[in-house]
Structure 1
C-alpha cells in the first residue's frame, strides 16, 4: 500500500492516483490490471492513464470481456482498467500479468438490496452486521482480486492496494491476514525496483 494516497472523494483523486501509479505500470511494461470498485473511478483513471502514458490502455465496456482479455494478452504491454466483473473467473497466467492494482477495499455498497436484507437479518438475530456480513464479504472479494495475480506456482508480481484503511482501521488487519504471505512495503520505489528486474529463468 503506497504512502500519501489521495482521499477517495477529494477533487483530483484520480489524477493524483494515476500519477502515483504511472512509474509502477511503466516499470512493469504494462501487463497490469487496475481493478476499481466504481465505474466512475474506472473511467476517470482510464482517462488519466491515456493522457499520460504511451502504453495501450484497455477499458471495460468498450468491447466484450473476452475480446478485452484477448487484446490484453496479445498486446503484451497493456493496462486493463476494469471493475468487479474482472475480479473472478479470469485466468491470465505467467508474465502476461504481473501487476494488480486495487483502488479501494471492495466493500459492497450499503445501498445494495441483497446486502441490506442480509444485514437486517443479522441485526434481528442480535449480530453485528459489519463484522458478520460486510467485512467477510469484502475479504472474500479482495482475495478473488488478488487471485488474478498468482495463478501458478511460478508466477511472480506485485499487488498494490490503494486504501489507507488497511493501516488506519482495526479491520485492516483482517484483510492483511487473508492475503498470501509475501514481502510488504509502502515504498513505491521498492516495488518499481522489483518490477524492473526480469525474473530469473
Structure 2
C-alpha cells in the first residue's frame, strides 16, 4: 500500500535537487576518486541491472542501542546506481519508547510513517519547534540543515521511510558530536553548561574519551 507513496517521496527528492548529467547514468565506482560532485563513473560496459536494484531496506535497522533507534541505508555508498541522481532513502525502526536523537542533514528530508505512531519535528534557526504526532500514512518534511527528531509514542514498534534530495545527505547527530570523540570535558562544560560528572558519564556511554 505504501510503496507507491514511497516512490513519490523519491521523486520529490529527485525533482527538488537533481543533478544535471550528460549521460543516461553514472553508476558509482568506489575504487575511483570521490569528490564534491559524487563518485567517478563505473565503466559503462560493466554496468548491470543489479547496479540499479537494492534490497537493503527489507531488513530493519539495528535498534539495540540507547535510543532504541535503528537505520537501514540506501545511500550511494550502499546503492551505486544513485550516483548523480540527486536522491536517496533510509528506513528507520523505532522501538516502543525509542527516539531518533536530534540530528541534521545537508538537504531536505521527506518522511512517511508506515507503522506506528511517531512524534516528528524540527527546530528552526529562530529556536522555534515544529512537531506533530503522525500516524500510519502521514508525511512530514524537514528543511535542509535543521535539527530534527522522532519519538515513538505508540504501543508498537514504528517504521519510518525517508527520502533525501541527495545521494549522500550526510548526518550530524548532536549527542555523537559532543560525546563520541576526544573533545575535552572542560570544553564541553563551557559550551553546554553540563556538569563534569554528567559529561564523563555520557562519554563513557557513547565511547568518547578525554
TM-score range, shorter chain: under 0.3
Structure having the higher strand fraction is 2
Structure having the higher helix fraction is 1
In the superposition, the TM-score normalised over structure 2's length comes to 0.27
Q: Looking at CA atoms only, which structure, 1 or 2, has the larger radius of gyration?
A: 2
